Structure 1
């Protein structure tokens, strides 16, 4: 496969229901959104923020402008069309999809996923590390060609397909996708990794992330190091262990 243009698109909006404006909360002198974008930038790939046309998200645009991150604004509810618009505007051949509630996403894991996607040389390939969960929540990524994204944009009709971007792809509704899950390879802590939450969705998630960043300098750590801290300090993991992840369509 010739050198394709692959970019990371992260979806951001401040009108989240469980913890409004969560990505604009600050820790260690920067917003959680900036920590997230810093981590993604370390992959060496272009990073694009896909936010909404809602005036509340003018704040997101301002943060990105100050950090030199390009922004695409599209539908608040039809996130699939928002991603497709961002991909077209930046002339991407393939996309890494992430969400902005992952402030400690590991750039090395994402970059390794992109290397694998390139090596497979298959435009119908969908790669993720969460088809079967072996990583903590907050490390999730998906990689697929823009051709497949545009096919989903044209054909996906279910509300959940439009809101969550990729169900049409990873449920192989077209019958033409090849799915590949990349499991944890971070060493001896794998048995616990999937149970942890390193995502920012609720106030209790916020408490854990604040503690990790303030007390352990977590913005400098990779996934395996973060899991090792949670293994060694169960009192930290219990801060958000009770949180139920929202289901598709909720």
Structure 2
């Protein structure tokens, strides 16, 4: 348990116009959309006061709003390009003090990880806690928490377009400014080679297999359950061998080299 120092929300970044896999947030796994699964998994948290979907004003995202209204989840519509500002305004719309940032391409996100990271964050005087500063968890379990006031500061400090696309990247790439803490996976779940994010058609088939194996018997399956499944059935991961992911750190460096560190 932790001493409550303010309200916490999880923001879920979601839009229909993904470049590589349009409409991925509403793709179906076992009869429910990807986004609905993420919402339901996060709402099991013991510590989150709110879950809010951070979507855009783009008309294509009306479908996301319809889902949120149907299942009773809060949402905020903001900038499509400036994701940092959209997440910040989403958190402000529900009047919270801390943000747990989640992306809409993580259908196997584990609420237990969220709660563990919240406890870690409040165990000391930190500005940012994450399980990704040093990669030990599989991609797809990514969880991070930081104060709203820190994101407000970052919004004012940097004009780097990459920082505004990848919300918290400025925080964890500036350890000289911010107090960071990293949660390292234990041996049982320390498998950073696994990538369980929904970015391509291959990812969809891969994650659909995970849900098909785990969800029918246990809708609240854990990250450990996912890793155990993949270790026992490594042929499931072969479909992903040629998948190429974006490198936000490379994009950030290139933007800074062209425009200067901060404007």
TM-score (norm 1): 0.93
- For 1:243, the equivalent position in structure 2 comes to 243
Task: Please state if 1:62 is matched with 2:66.
Answer: yes
Contact 1:197 1:241 in 2 (8 A): no
Matched ranges for 1:13-92 at <5 A? 13-44=15-46, 45=48, 46-92=50-96
Summarize the alignment of residues 85-100 of structure 1 with structure 2, pairs less than 5 Å apart. Answer: 85-100=89-104
Contact 1:127 1:144 in 2 (8 A): yes
Task: Provide the residue aligned with 1:149 in structure 2.
Answer: 151
1:170 counterpart = 2:166 = no
What CA distance in whole angstroms lies between the structure 2 residues aligned with 1:26 and 1:79? Answer: 25
- Structure 2 SS opposite 1:226: helix
**TM-fit CA distance, 1:219:** 4.1
1:244 to partner: Cα distance: 2.1
Secondary structure of 1:238's partner?
A: helix
SS of 1:180's partner is strand
Equivalent in the alignment of 1:114: 118
Following TM superposition, where does structure 1 have runs of at least 4 consecutive aligned residues deviating by more than 2 angstroms? 187-190, 215-220
Task: State whether residues 196 and 241 of structure 1, in contact with CA within 8 Å, keep that contact through their aligned partners in structure 2.
Answer: no
RMSD: 1.6
2:194 corresponds in structure 1 to 196
Report the equivalent of 1:223: 223
Show structure 1 runs of 5+ residues with no match: none
Q: CA deviation at 1:242?
A: 2.8
What is the aligned partner in structure 2 of residue 183 from structure 1? 184
Q: Is the Cα contact below 8 Å between 2:56 and 2:77 reproduced in 1? A: yes
Matched length: 244
CA contact (8 A) 1:36 1:102 kept: yes
Shift of 1:220: 2.9
Post-superposition Cα deviations, 1:68-109, rounded to whole Å, max 9, x if no partner, equal: 111111100011111111122211111100101101101101
**Secondary structure at the counterpart of residue 239 of structure 2:** coil
With normalisation by structure 2, the TM-score equals 0.88
